[in-house]
Amino acid sequence: MTGAETAVVRVVRSWARFYTRGLPVGDRERRRLELESDLWEHLHDPDEQVIARSVLGRFLRGIPADVRWRYRTLLDSRGARQRSHDMTTTTRFQWWTPTTVVIGVSLIALALLGLGFGETESGGWIIALGWLTAATVLLAGVAMLRWRPLIGSWTVIAGAVLLALAEPLAAPLSVVVIIGGLWSGGLVTSRRGAETTITLAPRQSALTERWYLWLVAAAALGAIGFIVLLVWPSVTPENCTEANPCWQDSAAWAAWILSWMAALVSGVIGLILGGLRMLVRHRTRLA
Amino acid sequence: MRRKPGAILPLEASILETVIGLSRAGVEQFHGFQLAKQLRSDEGQRALTAHGTLYKALTRMEKAGLLDSVWEDPDIAVEEGRPRRRLYSVTSKGRVALAEVKAEMAGLSKLDPGLSGP
């Protein structure tokens, strides 16, 4: 085997390990072994001439199909588990969903507030438009998660990227949402014991089931807000000069307000949902 | 867009056509790479079918009952010093499905001579 062939085979194997990770053992092993056999046959085929390029081409052109196959296999295995288990035991809460909803709502509120306070000069309306767009995409993605988990996840990821582009100081929030989106899309899975755990799309009841996670999301967002201000101390309003008119000024304050508003909204929603749940439980117990 | 249950995709029709051709030539079982080569030759393509596309189609066709597959005897693989092959064969349902696709395409090509089947 030439150096190029060795490198390409290594890439194909790594990719196969990546996209079959977390799948049921039967599907995973079959795909890997079949691919291994295919690679061997390809490398030892006397009719093939530029083998490395040919293998690389087959690998690259097959990536979309690999991703779709993985998604379909995850859905099938999830369906099989849901048929054999009680729904409440298999559905897992999407830890990142409240965070995303809160970010989306806060962004809309901030953009509207900014426009309302006349932040339309010096391109403020462009920033507001960027926030509104990012928020709309984020919330649309969350809304789609239940019915079209893959499309929803990728939409949320797109919204998070837009958020980072529209407001670089909000990049840490985007990272949280992107990780959540990858998780939900089945591209990242977790293992618990011997059985593979696949995160499912959120169900409406699950959003209220573990209300305290809203509070966790609130605390996390508040912390992120402080970290942003600590890491970029130069963007506090006192450091702005006439020579350096602070577009950063409004950005820093926006990040600060965003974090605190997110924390506030998360906390309030968490308390309302928690209170409602306790009330329902109390009434059920009485009945 | 979701595909209709039972519908045959163009690639699946090509695979059925190819494997039935192989079967006529006395090759009852075939492996993935062999099929990719045969498809390239039959379809006059420059490149081999991509890994993901090929194995996804084969899995789907097997689930639909159009193909059957077994792992090769491990002793043979060890003897020849290579990984074990997954060997596919066409089922009677696969033959019927291809005949139906061909009949459908023939009907369409009567309406529009520009259309031609797999």
Nearest C-alpha of chain B: how many angstroms from A70?
9
A221 and A96 in contact (C-beta within 8 Å)?
A: no
ipTM of the complex: 0.85
User: At A148, is the pLDDT very low, low, confident or very high (cuts 50, 70, 90)?
Assistant: confident
- Cβ contacts of A182 within 8 Å, gap of 6 or more: A153, A157, A188
Question: What are φ and ψ of residue A237, in 5° steps?
Answer: -60, -30
- Give pLDDT, residue A200: 37
- Give pLDDT, residue A2: 83
**Selection from A61-75, A99-113, A186-200, A269-283 with the highest mean pLDDT:** A61-75
- Give pLDDT, residue A110: 74
Question: What are φ and ψ of residue B29, in 5° steps?
Answer: -125, 145
- Please determine, for residue A223, whether its predicted confidence score (pLDDT) is greater than 70: no
Q: What is the mean pLDDT of residues B111-116?
A: 56
- Please determine, for residue A236, whether its predicted confidence score (pLDDT) is greater than 60: no
The pTM for the full model equals 0.51
- Give pLDDT, residue B111: 61
For the stretch B77-101, what's the b/e string if a residue is b when 16 or more beta carbons lie within 10 angstroms of its beta carbon? beeeebbbbbbbbbbeebeebbeeb
- Please determine, for residue A251, whether its predicted confidence score (pLDDT) is greater than 60: no
Among the ranges given (A130-144, A168-182, A209-223, B50-64), the one the predictor scored with the smallest mean pLDDT:
A209-223
- Please determine, for residue A262, whether its predicted confidence score (pLDDT) is greater than 70: no
User: At A107, is the pLDDT very low, low, confident or very high (cuts 50, 70, 90)?
Assistant: confident
Among the ranges given (A144-148, A235-239, B105-109), the one the predictor scored with the smallest mean pLDDT:
A235-239
- Cβ contacts of A91 within 8 Å, gap of 6 or more: A200, A203, A206
- Give pLDDT, residue A38: 93
User: At A10, is the pLDDT very low, low, confident or very high (cuts 50, 70, 90)?
Assistant: very high
Across the interface, do B55 and A69 touch by the CB < 8 Å criterion?
Answer: yes
A1 and A9 in contact (C-beta within 8 Å)?
A: yes
Whether residue A154 lies within 8 A of chain B, CB to CB, comes out as no
Answer with the residue of higher pLDDT: A43 or A157: A43
- Please determine, for residue B117, whether its predicted confidence score (pLDDT) is greater than 50: no
Return the structure tokens found at A155: 């939409």
- Report how far residue B75's alpha carbon sits from residue B87's, in angstroms, rounded to the nearest whole number: 15
Measured in whole angstroms, how far is the alpha carbon of residue B105 from the centre of its chain?
Answer: 18
Closest CA to A129 of A117, A115, A142: A115
- Please determine, for residue A129, whether its predicted confidence score (pLDDT) is greater than 70: yes
Q: What are B24-63's pLDDT values in tens digits?
A: 888 889 999 999 999 898 877 788 899 999 999 999 999 9
- In the DSSP assignment, the letter for residue A181 is H
- In the DSSP assignment, the letter for residue A242 is S
Partner B, chain A 64-93, Cβ-Cβ below 8 Å = 64-66, 68-69
Across the interface, do A47 and B59 touch by the CB < 8 Å criterion?
Answer: no
Indicate the residue of B37, B53, B55 with minimum beta-carbon distance to A34: B55
Reported for B19-28, long-range contacts at CB under 8 A and 24+ positions apart, including other chains, are B19/B67, B19/B88, B19/B89, B19/B90, B19/B94, B20/B90, B20/B94, B20/B95, B20/B98, B23/B89, B23/B90, B28/B89
Nearest C-alpha of chain A: how many angstroms from B113?
32
- Give pLDDT, residue B33: 93
H or E, element range at A9 = helix A3-19
Answer with the residue of higher pLDDT: A277 or A203: A277
Among the ranges given (A7-11, A53-57, A168-172, A186-190), the one the predictor scored with the smallest mean pLDDT:
A186-190
- Report how far residue B51's alpha carbon sits from residue B30's, in angstroms, rounded to the nearest whole number: 16
Q: What are A20-69's pLDDT values in tens digits?
A: 888 888 999 999 999 999 999 999 988 877 888 899 999 999 998 998 89
Biggest alpha carbon–alpha carbon distance for chain B: 55
- Give pLDDT, residue A199: 37
Indicate the residue of A42, A62, A69 with minimum beta-carbon distance to B33: A42
User: At B22, is the pLDDT very low, low, confident or very high (cuts 50, 70, 90)?
Assistant: confident
String of DSSP letters for B29-74: -B-HHHHHHHHHHHHT-SSPPPHHHHHHHHHHHHHTTSEEEEEPPH
Task: Give me the percent of chain A exceeding a pLDDT of 90.
Answer: 12
- Give pLDDT, residue A126: 73
- Please determine, for residue B1, whether its predicted confidence score (pLDDT) is greater than 60: no
- Please determine, for residue B68, whether its predicted confidence score (pLDDT) is greater than 80: yes
Q: Mean pLDDT for chain A?
A: 70
